[in-house]
């Protein structure tokens, strides 16, 4: 085959694979990540083709609102809901390739003619859409929701809490691929491992740590993932916000620390490292499958002496701890750069049910420790919603014998207009180059 033919065959395999992935996603039983994992396991495909399928399907989910807006304009009388799911997904691929990656319309029409001829007139109409004109007729909130591809609820909440300019910056940055960070696992290695990694061909790490022991990966993420130090857990990839959150608890050697919502155990590893493996660290997790994976992986990370327990953190399973980390389950709306599908699964019902769990854990811990003055508790979520941050803290702070502790190491206060605003902290993708996180630190008073 000529190199042109090889390229065309690759492009065809990527389109077909992406179509299968999107069709499975539409069936609604699995997350995008697990569909991609299964697809790779079931199909003998080369790495570059799988990477292409992964990139294309994640990009289409990332820009789903905008793509579907084009689709609804182009499908005209054929209401998009009446199109078979597979036709709709094929058109989503075509729209993304036409508007985002500049594939010529003639090339797109050519492949549509081989796969599903009814797409051709629709795609021709889509190719004529004047999006600027179409968006101009919408309200501000709807326009941002389509232009920046986020659900209207998220747009409205951000407009209320960040104002228009910053909302646009945040939502636009949410559509970028995130920065990745690497740190040495000091339970199994030394700080020098980072210099060694930097010597590997293709890997470029920012020369200074961005925050004490964590480095931004400038290039070479795929080489790192294939490297021996990564495979043997001597280096770890972790978002900077997740790393900083665990540091805010500031555990010391010899203390008794409880990591209340611990799986998969990334913060547990850091807590034990900061404790210099002295003292007692109990990690609890309610989900049996996640507990088992975290417990097994824990040994590979160098955490032999950490006690893992399958427990509900809201039911006071660990007494007498000096410091407690509640890294609560949440909507993960701070992580939509790496997991764009998280923004589309957000709805009132799921938000209220997750808020109830957060509140139960927070109240359970605060009431169990209300007679243990001095105990320090960090509550965190990887969410940009005030419902899972400031509102949760405001709902408990006056009802328990607890004070908010300053967090000078993080620079940005919480959303305004909450009682806790000045003392709590937020990290954002567009300002901190991290996942979006909320962090509050409390101390039980005498």
The residue ranges that bind ligand SAM (CB under 6 A) are 242, 260-267, 284-287, 290, 312-314, 327, 329, 357, 361
In angstroms, the CA 381 to CA 326 distance is 9
In the bound complex, what is the minimum distance in angstroms from residue 325's beta carbon to ligand SAM? Answer: 7
Instruction: Indicate the residue among 265 and 429 with the shorter CB distance to ligand SAM.
Output: 265
Q: State which H helix or E strand residue 437 sits in.
A: strand 437-444
Instruction: Indicate the residue among 144 and 283 with the shorter CB distance to ligand SAM.
Output: 283
In the bound complex, what is the minimum distance in angstroms from residue 394's beta carbon to ligand SAM? Answer: 21
In the bound complex, what is the minimum distance in angstroms from residue 118's beta carbon to ligand SAM? Answer: 44
Instruction: Indicate the residue among 334 and 340 with the shorter CB distance to ligand SAM.
Output: 334
Kindly give, in sequence order, each residue whose CB lies less than 8 Å from that of residue 173, ignoring residues fewer than 6 positions away: 337, 429, 430
Residue 276 — left, alpha, or beta (φ > 0 → left; ψ -120 to 50 → alpha)? left
Instruction: Indicate the residue among 127 and 264 with the shorter CB distance to ligand SAM.
Output: 264
In the bound complex, what is the minimum distance in angstroms from residue 45's beta carbon to ligand SAM? Answer: 30
Instruction: Indicate the residue among 266 and 281 with the shorter CB distance to ligand SAM.
Output: 266
In the bound complex, what is the minimum distance in angstroms from residue 119's beta carbon to ligand SAM? Answer: 41
- CB contact at 8 A, 346 and 333: yes
Q: Distance of CA 432 to CAs 241, 248, 354, 380, Å? A: 8, 16, 26, 16
Q: Distance of CA 209 to CAs 197, 216, 411, Å? A: 14, 7, 17
Instruction: Indicate the residue among 287 and 372 with the shorter CB distance to ligand SAM.
Output: 287
Instruction: Indicate the residue among 32 and 286 with the shorter CB distance to ligand SAM.
Output: 286
Instruction: Indicate the residue among 145 and 242 with the shorter CB distance to ligand SAM.
Output: 242
- CB contact at 8 A, 443 and 403: yes
Nearest to 429 by CA among 335, 341, 342: 335
Instruction: Indicate the residue among 161 and 242 with the shorter CB distance to ligand SAM.
Output: 242
Kindly give, in sequence order, each residue whose CB lies less than 8 Å from that of residue 18, ignoring residues fewer than 6 positions away: 52, 53, 56, 57, 60, 93
Report the residue number whose CB is nearest to ligand SAM: 261
In the bound complex, what is the minimum distance in angstroms from residue 366's beta carbon to ligand SAM? Answer: 14
Kindly give, in sequence order, each residue whose CB lies less than 8 Å from that of residue 244, ignoring residues fewer than 6 positions away: 211, 409, 410, 427, 434, 437, 439
In the bound complex, what is the minimum distance in angstroms from residue 71's beta carbon to ligand SAM? Answer: 34
Question: For residues 101-114, b (16+ Cβ closer than 10 Å) or e, as one string?
Answer: eebeeeebeebbee
Q: Distance of CA 2 to CAs 5, 7, 8, 52, Å? A: 5, 9, 10, 20
In the bound complex, what is the minimum distance in angstroms from residue 267's beta carbon to ligand SAM? Answer: 4
Report the half-sphere exposure of 174 (CA within 13 A, side-chain side). 32
Instruction: Indicate the residue among 266 and 427 with the shorter CB distance to ligand SAM.
Output: 266
- Token pair 């339970």: residue: 187
In the bound complex, what is the minimum distance in angstroms from residue 344's beta carbon to ligand SAM? Answer: 19
DSSP state, 234?
S
Kindly provide the residue ranges of all beta strands, DSSP E only, lying in 210-364, ordered along the sequence.
215-219, 235-237, 256-259, 280-285, 307-310, 323-327
Angle of helix 47-62 relative to helix 32-42, nearest 10 degrees? 160
In the bound complex, what is the minimum distance in angstroms from residue 220's beta carbon to ligand SAM? Answer: 24
């Amino acid at each position: 085959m000529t190199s042109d033919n090889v390229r065309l065959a690759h492009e065809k395999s990527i389109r077909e694979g992406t179509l299968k992935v999107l069709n499975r996603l539409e069936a609604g039983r699995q997350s995008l990540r697990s569909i991609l994992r299964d697809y790779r396991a079931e199909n003998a495909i080369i790495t570059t083709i799988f990477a292409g399928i992964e990139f294309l399907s994640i990009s289409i989910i990332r820009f789903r609102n905008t793509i579907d807006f084009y689709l609804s304009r182009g499908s005209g009388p054929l209401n998009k809901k009446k199109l078979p799911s597979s036709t709709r997904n094929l058109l989503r691929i075509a729209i993304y390739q036409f508007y985002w990656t500049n594939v010529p319309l003639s090339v797109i029409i050519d492949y549509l003619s081989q796969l599903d001829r009814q797409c051709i007139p629709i795609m021709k109409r889509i190719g004529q859409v004047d999006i600027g004109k179409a968006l101009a007729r919408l309200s501000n909130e709807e326009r941002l929701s389509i232009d920046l591809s986020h659900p209207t609820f998220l747009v409205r909440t951000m407009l209320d809490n960040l104002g228009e300019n910053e909302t646009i910056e945040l939502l636009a940055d949410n559509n970028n691929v995130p920065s990745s960070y690497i740190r040495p696992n000091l339970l199994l290695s030394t700080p020098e491992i980072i210099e060694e990694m930097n010597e590997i061909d293709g890997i470029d790490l920012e020369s200074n740590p961005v925050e004490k022991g964590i480095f931004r990966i400038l290039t070479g993420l795929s080489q790192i993932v294939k490297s021996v130090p990564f495979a043997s857990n001597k280096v770890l990839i972790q978002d900077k916000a997740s790393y900083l959150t665990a540091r805010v608890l500031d555990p010391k050697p010899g203390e008794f620390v409880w990591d209340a919502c611990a799986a998969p155990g990334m913060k547990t590893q850091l807590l034990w490292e900061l404790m210099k493996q002295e003292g007692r660290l109990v990690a609890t997790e309610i989900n049996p499958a996640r507990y088992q994976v975290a417990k097994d992986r824990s040994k590979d990370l160098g955490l032999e002496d950490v006690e893992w327990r399958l427990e509900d953190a809201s039911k006071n399973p660990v007494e007498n701890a000096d410091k407690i980390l509640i890294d609560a389950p949440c909507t993960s709306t701070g992580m939509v750069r790496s997991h764009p599908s998280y923004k589309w699964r957000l709805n009132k019902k799921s938000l209220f049910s997750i808020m109830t769990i957060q509140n139960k854990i927070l109240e359970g811990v605060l009431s169990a420790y209300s007679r243990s003055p001095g105990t320090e508790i960090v509550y965190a979520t990887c969410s940009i919603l005030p419902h899972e941050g400031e509102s949760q803290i405001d709902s408990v702070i006056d009802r328990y014998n607890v004070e908010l502790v300053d967090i000078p190491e993080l620079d940005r206060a919480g959303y305004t207009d909450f009682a806790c605003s000045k003392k709590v902290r937020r990290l954002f993708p567009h300002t901190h180059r991290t996942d979006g996180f909320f962090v509050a630190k409390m101390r039980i008073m005498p």
